[in-house]
Amino acid sequence: MHADAAIHASQLYGFLLVLARMAGVFIFLPLPGFKAGPDAAKIGLALALTFALFSRWPVSQPAPSSMVQLTGWMLAEAGIGLATGLAVSFVIEWLVMAAQAISTQAGFAYASTVDPNTEADATVLILIAQLVAGMLFFAMGLDRQLLGILSRSLETNPPGSFAASRPSIEGLVMLGSGIFSTGLRLVLPLMTLLFLIDLSMGLLGRLNSQLQLMALAFPAKMLAAMAALSLIVFLIPKLYQQSATAAFGALGKFLGM
């Protein structure tokens, strides 16, 4: 009787710890419309993933000696989930940052719509970038890779025994710089083109003050931006895959895989 009770208590602790890890992932998971979704659906999804990983629950580890120790373990597991969701957000945010960099300069800032993530006004180009990033996340099978990493992490770092090393943490932090470097490398030619258009319009206005170039500047910049984006769009899947490889590699080192 006491043995059965100990087994059930161990499974209960395993459930709570795995649930804390799964729930932490969804806090920073930047899928379009996910943050604006009902909380009950998020809780249900976290519970579904936790039960799906039932075979990986740590049932053989010793039970915590006190509620303070259990709370510390749950906070550590939530931290692992937060780090996982943050690493996935780095895969997506560079594309949003690139769209933000050219929205105002190209004149798209005047056309805004409601962002499903924040429920605030956002430019059309940023919203398109978020939707494209979310579509590529599932089209490339990154959701399956993420679930595989979470599943293997329960073996390499069972709940209650995780200890992050400094190099692994630095690897995750360095992913943040990739948001700016990758995003700027993608749109820097377009930003240069738009700057040259502004410079040309300014020089023509100085040469002949009678020319009304303001009415032509915005259409010219928007047409040039759309033409350049139609060429740049072919580079997005390749850069997206490279960013995902780097993020999941750093996440694997963080989780000891």
> How many angstroms from the chain centroid is the CA of residue 175?
11
User: Taking residues 44-68, what's their average pLDDT?
Assistant: 76
Spatial neighbors of 162 by CB under 8 A, at least 6 apart, are: 76, 77, 80
Which pLDDT does position 60 carry in this prediction? 52
User: Taking residues 174-188, what's their average pLDDT?
Assistant: 82
| Angle subtended by helix axes 142-156 and 236-254, to nearest 10 | 10
Name the pLDDT band for 211 (thresholds 50, 70, 90).
Answer: low
Q: What Cα–Cα distance (Å) separates residue 61 from each residue in 5, 54, 57, 163, 203?
A: 15, 15, 10, 16, 73
Which pLDDT does position 120 carry in this prediction? 61
Q: What is the CB neighbour count within 10 angstroms for residue 207? A: 8
Q: Is the pLDDT of residue 62 over 50?
A: yes
Q: What share of the chain has pLDDT > 70, as a percent? A: 79
Task: Give pTM, 2 decimals.
Answer: 0.75
User: Taking residues 47-59, what's their average pLDDT?
Assistant: 80
Angstrom distance (rounded) from CA 147 to CA 52 = 10
Q: Is the pLDDT of residue 5 over 60?
A: no
Q: Is the pLDDT of residue 1 over 50?
A: no
Angstrom distance (rounded) from CA 130 to CA 217 = 27
- Residue 122's SS3 state is strand
Q: What is the CB neighbour count within 10 angstroms for residue 229? A: 17
User: Taking residues 34-53, what's their average pLDDT?
Assistant: 78
DSSP assignment string, 134-200: HHHHHHTTHHHHHHHHHHHHHHHS-TT-----HHHHHHHHHHHHHHHHHHHHHHHHHHHHHHHHHHH
95-148: pLDDT as tens digits? 888 888 888 777 776 666 656 555 566 677 888 888 888 888 888 888 888 888
Domain ranges for the chain:
2-254
